[in-house]
Amino acid sequence: MRAARAARSLSVATLAWLGVESTLGLAAGFSSHSLALIGWGLSAFVEAAASLIVVWRFTGARTLSPSAESTARRAVAVSFWLLAPYLILHVAYDLDAGQRAAPSALGIVVTAFSLVSMPVLGLAKRRLGARLASGATSGEGTQNLICAAMAAGVLVSLWLNTLGWWWVDPVVAVVLAGVAVREGARAWRGHACCH
């Protein structure tokens, strides 16, 4: 099936970019103490898990299996939930320790690239998900769209940090945790993910 091959190919391409995105995002986040950048870099691992799930879903006999779709959809839901506890704990730790994010040129470049590229991938996967009746593929596309929204939030946070608005960074991280929990619940119940 051509649509299944396309979904698998887009997921493999996404995995390649996410390897770069997570490495650069985490490096920039840890060097600048930016919770939003660190959370965004970690979310790339969550997105990668969703991409791997979709590759698994559309490989071999699972391509036509309704039970494989159900398993994949729920696994994607769990991948949404992996990020939230880390973000909340990291926000609490950094606020308690008095950590403040510093500006990061690398963070700005990598998030700006994702802001442009991830919507293209996400919308293509959501269209394929609809054609394949695959909540897992649609959910992965939604994760890509959330990544783009997160990149926008992180960019705004980094810019506002330069103006002394240090509190925006942890607020963005908490909002991202909430979005991940909500989308995970929607995916688990089998509702079409929305952005």
For the chain, state the CA radius of gyration. Answer: 17
Return d(Cα 67, Cα 64) in angstroms, integer.
Answer: 9
Give the pTM: 0.76
Nearest to 81 by CA among 188, 175, 184: 184
CA distances from 48 to 22, 140, 164, 188 (A): 10, 9, 33, 18
pLDDT of residue 193: 45
Please, what CATH class does the domain formed by 2-189 belong to?
A: mainly alpha
C-beta separation of 176 from 153 below 8 A: yes
Q: Cite the beta strand spans of the chain per DSSP E.
A: none
pLDDT at site 75: 87
Query: DSSP characters for 12-68?
Result: HHHHHHHHHHHHHHHHHHHHHT-HHHHHHHHHHHHHHHHHHHHHHHTSGGGGG-HHH
Task: Please say whether the dihedral angle defined by the alpha carbons of residues 30, 34, 40 and 42, taken in this order, is positive or negative.
Answer: positive
pLDDT digit of tens for each residue in the chain (195 aa)?
788 889 899 999 999 999 998 999 999 989 888 877 887 788 788 788 888 988 998 888 888 888 888 888 888 888 878 878 877 887 787 777 776 677 788 888 999 999 999 999 999 999 999 999 888 888 889 888 888 888 888 888 878 877 888 788 788 778 878 888 888 888 888 765 443
Residue 118's pLDDT is what?
93
* Number of alpha carbons in the 13 Å side-chain half-sphere of residue 10: 28
